[in-house]
Amino acid sequence: MSTIEKSAGKLISAIQKEWGNEAGELCADESEDVMGKAHDILQACKKNELSQLLNGKSITAYLGTVWVEHHQSVKPAIIKIESDISATL
């Protein structure tokens, strides 16, 4: 498993925690969608297709800037995966 894949897994975990905290609330649906996008990131990493998936967007933009701004606890995981991506370029 690559470093980026590990970081993607940690991003998924951070989003899952937010989603779990919102269980039963209307906003949980949006968090579930964001978690799906994080799984797409992981799958793209495994297939070496991350740049195609992101299509020039940052991880934050791909997940949804507004959602990320409202869920600050996921920012360290985003910073880590973006750092790992930069290190491979």
Q: How confident is the model at residue 89 (pLDDT cuts 50, 70, 90)?
A: confident
pLDDT of residue 88: 81
Among 27-31, 35-39, 61-65, 70-74, the minimum mean pLDDT is found in 27-31
Q: What are the residue ranges spanned by the domains of the chain?
A: 3-88
Whether pTM exceeds 0.85? yes
What is the pLDDT of the chain when averaged over all its residues? 93
Residue 6 CA to residue 26 CA, distance in Å, equals: 30
Please give the pLDDT value at position 23: 83
Closest by CA position to 7, among listed 61, 69, 68, 79: 79
Sort 44 into a burial class: Cβ within 10 Å, 0-12 / 13-18 / 19+: middle
How many residues are listed for the chain in this entry? 89
